[in-house]
Structure 1
């Protein structure tokens, strides 16, 4: 195992966006879809979710080379009511269709109190939290779930993976404080964080992964091998051990799939993988819900009460005076401020991958750093 931490470039957010956009244009992605995708990927990196931003370019290149992606066709609304809609992602990357779907859900909530929009026939959409934040910025509560392509979660008492990381995000608006934003995988950690630890040469915390015999995997390179090549072992459900905690995490993952997969008619990965042809789209599903607090309370009352609750949490005496109590969303907002000042860290291994992608597609390499 590489015990050293790889050197990381510090790249301004605008230049990271320029790099992503250059590659997407070289892949002949429709300009409006590319602009939305690059914006959301950079926003993800600014929040410190390194597993779901520019580091996803290697996976997206693979999907494109496999012929799974349609990078030209915009999403299409297939059915609609006053409070609901069903959107076809048209086999494109999930960022644009997800931003469209979340905004459509918010529009419906502002008109009718609640809006629920499902998406089918999509691909990876990045970090769920960026879409929940769309709702909070527009003054409503947002809930986001998604099915996943990868089969990485080993269920409680199991030895082989059957579920994905199946993310869940929830955001609520405030007046005085930062919005409350919970963004989480239903595994103990996201699969992408194994990749990030491998790119940075860092060991994995015990409990994130197990091998086929239930033993902890702490070598990140071995973790990537488990995820990509081995039929047994994988990520633990949220809660890890003891058994009851992990069983609840496993049940939460299935709940997320029911909303983000079954309800919207998208495939369940273990079933799809039996029949999927090499060029078939991933057919991922997403679920977006928006609730207008004004449908339940007088204007501003919800935000005032939530601010009061957050104030109580922030005022809790910390166990370590140097580490004040945080509320969901605080770490990401603080990291965003740091990265806007100092740049987005790009590990040397990731920098080499991006340079190679640029060479293969003919895009200009603009991140900087040594060859």
Structure 2
């Protein structure tokens, strides 16, 4: 079978497979289940860059003794509307979920809750976390630093910031949520990896070598990014003419919010753990007005956008379409990734149970 061949798999079986690997690595049952849920929901939403394919990175971190799979997030500073959590050098999913629940609780008491997390690792797509707050009628903002420097400062060529994503969610009166989830680079680094696994070329303008030349070979681009020999353009593109300086400014903002409150790492830090930082802000809109008013406003606003233009694509719509398709037909996984997963299961001492549908 060719490396770019794709087969589909049931979401519940994929969840079971991820849990089996995490448990074999020493992660306790409840956080393993929660982590697998985030990863599978991400794959269901069509964000292949942040789902099961991340097991490759997690195995690498574990092998390098940079990741503690049995870590328990701990609140180290607490105030009525603010807290700081130490992730214990564990995977970011349990720490991120803990931070969101804590921020939700504080918002229920104070009307607003903010939680900073330090000493953490990759936590997947941020949209999953802010959606959990919006499903309870709350408004949420979340940011995180990322482990590999890939974005150069405006006018520079040295990778300094990560992709530094930001996500926002608000409830809708008609049901569902508005979710905005994006990197502050022109694309997420793991999307470059996803293109490489599928054997697809990159669009020109995503990745550049250190001489500023665009790189479209996805495998080469990912190699350059992981060795700091390449850069991703900031949101808006490589130059100020298209707003690249604004994208870099957003990345700086995310760096401060995510890391400054919790003692998370500066860019280019070479300590024994990634020490990533996350930040969650949750607002209870009932503290500012009539119950349901914010959700109605969001519905009215989105209604204006699509009223006369039915082809408008709202944030979150592609993910909703993907969830419907993949929920019915299974999650597509390329053969190249399946081969990696077989190796991971073999090295972990657990069975590869994935069976293609159809």
With normalisation by structure 2, the TM-score equals 0.96
For the residue of structure 2 that corresponds to 1:234, the secondary structure is: strand
1:125 alignment counterpart: 123
Q: Distance in 2 between matches of 1:85 and 1:345?
A: 39
Determine whether 1:313 maps to 2:305.
yes
Residues 3, 336 of structure 2: 8 Å contact kept: no
Q: 2:196 & 2:23 partners in 1: Cα distance?
A: 29
Indicate the residue corresponding to 2:273 in structure 1: 281
Note if contact 1:40-1:95 (Cα within 8 Å) is conserved in structure 2.
yes
* 1:157-185 Cα shifts (integer Å, max 9, x gaps): 21121110001000001121531100000
Map of 2:319 onto structure 1: 332
Q: Which SS does the other structure have where 1:159 is aligned?
A: coil
8 Å CA contact retained: 1:166, 1:257 = yes
For each residue in 1:228-248, what CA deviation from the matched residue of structure 2 results, as whole angstroms up to 9, or x when unmatched?
Answer: 23x432101000044250011
Q: Which residue of 1 aligns with 2:4?
A: 6
Q: 1:236 aligns with which of 221, 226, 233?
A: 233
Give the distance between the partners of 1:332 and 1:347, measured in 2 at CA: 19
1:321 equivalent in structure 2: none
The superposition leaves residues 262-283 of structure 1 with CA deviations (integer Å, 9 ceiling, x where unpaired) of: 222101121x12xx2xxx2211
Mapped partners of 1:195, 1:226: distance in 2: 11
The 3-state SS of whatever aligns with 1:139 is: coil
Partner of 1:135: 133
The runs of 5 or more residues in structure 2 that have no matched partner are none
- Local SS of the residue matching 1:130: helix
The aligned counterpart of 2:174 is 176
Q: What is the match of residue 97 of structure 2?
A: 99
Give per-residue Cα distances to partners, 1:113-172, cap 9 Å, x unaligned.
100001011011011111111110111001000011111112222112111000100000
Alpha-carbon distance, 1:48 to partner: 0.9
Deviation, structure 1 residue 188: 0.2
Deviation at 1:303, TM superposition (A): 0.9
Q: 1:210, 1:281 → 2: CA distance? A: 28
Instruction: Tell me if structure 2 keeps the 8 A contact 1:208–1:236.
Output: yes
Matches of 1:122 and 1:209 in 2, distance apart?
27
Is the CA contact (8 Å cut-off) linking 1:106 and 1:138 kept in structure 2?
Answer: no
Q: 2:290 aligns with which of 298, 301, 304?
A: 298
Distance (whole Å) between structure 1 residues aligned to residue 280 and residue 43 of structure 2 = 22
Query: CA offset at residue 79 of structure 1?
Result: 1.2
- Aligned positions, number: 355
Match of 1:364 among 348, 351, 356: 351
> 1:326 offset after TM fit, Å?
1.7
Structure 2: how far apart are the matches of 1:232 and 1:43?
32
Q: CA deviation at 1:70?
A: 1.4
Structure 1: gaps of 5 or more residues: 319-323
* Superposition pairs of residues 143-162 of structure 1, within 5 angstroms: 143-162=141-160
Alpha-carbon distance in structure 2 between the residues aligned to 1:258 and 1:227: 23
The alpha-carbon deviation at position 6 of structure 1 amounts to 1.1
